[in-house]
Amino acid sequence: MPPPPPPPRNQPPRNPFKGLRQDKPAQDGKPPMPKWAIWAIVSAIVVLAFGSQFFAPSTGEKISYTEFLAQVKSGDVASITINNATNTISGEFENGGKFTTTGAVNMSDADEQLLKQMGVDYDFKTPQPNWITSLLPIILPFMFVIAFFVWMQRRAMGQAGNIMSVGRSKAKAYQADKPSTTFADVAGYDGVKLEIKEVVDFLRMPERFKEIGARVPKGILLVGPPGTGKTLFARAVAGEAGVGFLSVTGSDFMEMFVGVGASRVRDLFQQARKMGKAIIFIDEIDSIGRKRGAGLGGGHDEREQTLNQMLAEMDGFETTEGIVILAATNRPDILDPALLRPGRFDRQIIVPLPEFDERLAILKVHSRDKRMGTDVDLDTMAKATPGMSGADLANLVNEAALFAVRRGSAHIERIDFENARDRVVMGARRESLVLSAEEKRATAIHEGGHAILATVLPHSDPLHKVTILPRGMALGVTWTLPEERHTYSREFFEDLICKAMGGRVAEKIVFGHLNSGAANDLEQATSIARRMVREWGMSDKVGPMAWNGQQQVFLGEDLMTSGREYSDSTAKMLDDEISRILHEQEQRAHELLVKHRKGLELVAEKLLEDETIDGATVGRLVQEALETPTPTEA
C-alpha cells in the first residue's frame, strides 16, 4: 500500500485519526431541515388562522352603549355597522370621527326605531370565517396522529442504531501530533523505558530491525503493584510513538448482550489495521483475560468468547504486522496461559515499587510546580518513604501542600512534609477523641513497650517516631523506618514478632492485667508466624516444605484443587510450630522489658508529657536508664 501524498503547502497535515467515526451524510448532498424551520411553519399557520382576530385593526374611539344612544339622540351619529357575531357596533360621527361600542345580543325595537327617526344609516354584518380556521378542526387531529407516528419511527430507528453500534469498540484514539505525556515525565524506571522504547523504535524505523531479521513483540504486558505507573507508561508511549494509539479498558468489552465483547475486539483490531501501524493499550486486562473454565460453576461465556476472539486476533490467520498490544495488570497470576505464551504476549515487563533513587526522582517531578521552602530535603523524604509507590508519593506531595495552605504559609516547608507523611502512613489525627488519664497512661505504656523493643532488638528496623495521639483506628502508633531490603532473614521476622508483642507484655508487667488494645498486634504477629512455618520454611521441625494458604475460588483456581493438601497430623504440627514461635517471642519480649523496666517508665513519662517523641529520644532515655544505678546497687 503506497503512502498517501504529502499535503499541499500552507495547509495543515491530514489527521490520521479523522474519519474513523463520522456522522451519516445528508442524502443528495442536501443538509437536513433544521428544527427551527418546523416551528416557523407552525407559527405561520397560526398567524394566518387567527391573525385577523389577534391583530384586528383599530376602528376608532371606544364608548359605552349609553353614550352611543346619547350621541344618536343628539344627531351626531352618521352611520353604524352591527357585527352579528360579536355584537360589536362600529360607526362614524357626523364630523368624520369613528367609534366602537358593544351592544346587546338582540337590539331592542325602541333602539332600532330611534335609529330610523334620527336618520342613522345602519347595517347588519355577519363575517365569514377564514377557510384555514374552518379546516383546522379537521386537519389538527390528523397532524397530531402523523406527528406521533413520525416520532415513534425516529425513536425506533435511534434505538436500532444504538443496538447496531453496541458491537463497536469504545477505544479512544490519541493524536500523534499532540503528545501530552512523554518518557521525560516518567521518573526513574530506566530498564522499563528501554524495553518499551524498543517497540516504539521498531514502529518508527522498522527497517533497522528487519535488516537482521528481528521481530517486534506482538504483546507487552506491564505487571506491577497498583500505583507504580503502568498507565503512565502507556500515556508516555502515546506521546512518543508517532503512530496510531488506541486506548481501551478491559471492562469496555463486557456488556449484557452475548457476543458484544468479541465484536468489539474485532472492531478494535479493524480500526488498528486501518491506521497501518498502531499500538493498542488495554488497561486492566485481567477483567477479560482470566483463566478459562476456572472458578465456582465454570467460566463466564461472554468473557471466554471475548478472550478467544482476542487470542485469534493476536495469533490468527490474518496478519497483524505493525500492531502491538500493550496491556497492564496487577494480577498476572489469574491470566490465562494461552494469553501469556510467546507469539501473543511475548514480553512481560515488571514495574516494581520504586527504589530510593527513583523515589527521589518522582518526588522532584511532583514538586517542580510547587513552592518549596528552603528547609525541605527531598533526599531525606525519599529515604523515609520506602515501600511507597509513585501514586503514594504524588499524594504525599499534595498532602504537604494542603498542610501548608492550612497553616497559611506561602511555601511548603519540612514540617508540612512530616505532617503529610504521618497523615499518609498512620492516618488522620482524631481530634475529637479524648482519652481518660488511665487510658492515656495505658497507651503510653503500650507504645513504650513497642518503642523499647524496636530500640534494643538487633535486627529491628530503626525507630522513627512514637506517639500516643489517636490516629486512624489506633490510640497510639509506633513507627519504624524499614530499610531497603529485598530478602528477609528468620532473625528479622523473630524480632518483628517480638516487637509486636511488646505492647501487650508491657501492660502485663506494669498493670498486671491485659486489655483489648493488642488485637491488631496479635493479628500481625500470628500472620508472620504462620507464613514462617507454612511458606518460608523457617521451622526446623516442619523442614523444607511449603503450603500456601487456600486460594479463593473466584480468583481463578479450581474448586477441586483449592482444598487442604496435607493431613490432620501435619496440620497439628503446623499449629504447634506457630504457637511455639509466638510463645517464645512473647517470653523474649518479657525478659527484655523486665531488663529495661526503668527505660520503659522513662519513655512512658516522656510520652505523657510530650505526647510524641522521636527515635533518638527513646534511645537516649534507654541509655540513661542503663547507666543509672538501681537503689540496691547504690
What are the residue numbers of the active site? Answer: 447
Pseudo-torsion of CA 530, 534, 537, 542, nearest 10°? 100
- Of the candidates 366, 353, 367, 380, the one whose C-alpha atom is nearest the C-alpha of residue 189 is 353
Question: What stretch of H or E contains 307?
Answer: helix 301-315
CA angle 209–212–217, rounded 5-degree value: 45
Residue type, 620: R
Distance, in Å, from the CA atom of 518 to the CA atom of 187, rounded to the nearest integer, reads 40
**3-class DSSP string for 245-275:** EEEEEHHHHCCCCCCHHHHHHHHHHHHHHHH
- Of the candidates 139, 157, 125, the one whose C-alpha atom is nearest the C-alpha of residue 59 is 125
The runs of H, that is alpha helices, within 322-436 are 337-340, 356-367, 378-383, 390-407, 414-426
Q: How many CA atoms lie within 13 Å of 179's alpha carbon, on the beta-carbon side?
A: 17
Helix (H, G, I), strand (E, B) or coil at 348: strand
CB contact set of 323 (below 8 Å; sequence gap of 6+): 218, 269, 272, 273, 277, 278, 279, 280
Q: Are 528 and 497 in contact (CB under 8 A)?
A: yes
Placement of cell 483489648 in the chain: 516
Q: Which DSSP symbol is given to 549?
A: P
Distance, in Å, from the CA atom of 24 to the CA atom of 230, rounded to the nearest integer, reads 38
Distance, in Å, from the CA atom of 203 to the CA atom of 243, rounded to the nearest integer, reads 7
Rounded to an integer, what is the distance from CA 241 to the centroid of its chain? 26
Strands (DSSP E) contained in 271-346 are 278-283, 323-329
**Bridge partner residues of 247 (DSSP):** 172, 281
**Bridge partner residues of 283 (DSSP):** 249, 328
Strands (DSSP E) contained in 113-189 are 121-125, 172-174
Distance, in Å, from the CA atom of 460 to the CA atom of 499, rounded to the nearest integer, reads 8
Q: Are 509 and 597 in contact (CB under 8 A)?
A: yes
Distance, in Å, from the CA atom of 7 to the CA atom of 352, rounded to the nearest integer, reads 45
Question: Quick one: cell of 316?
Answer: 490468527
CB contact set of 489 (below 8 Å; sequence gap of 6+): 459
Distance, in Å, from the CA atom of 47 to the CA atom of 62, rounded to the nearest integer, reads 26
- Of the candidates 434, 372, 441, the one whose C-alpha atom is nearest the C-alpha of residue 404 is 372
- Of the candidates 284, 462, 455, the one whose C-alpha atom is nearest the C-alpha of residue 384 is 462
Rounded to an integer, what is the distance from CA 265 to the centroid of its chain? 23
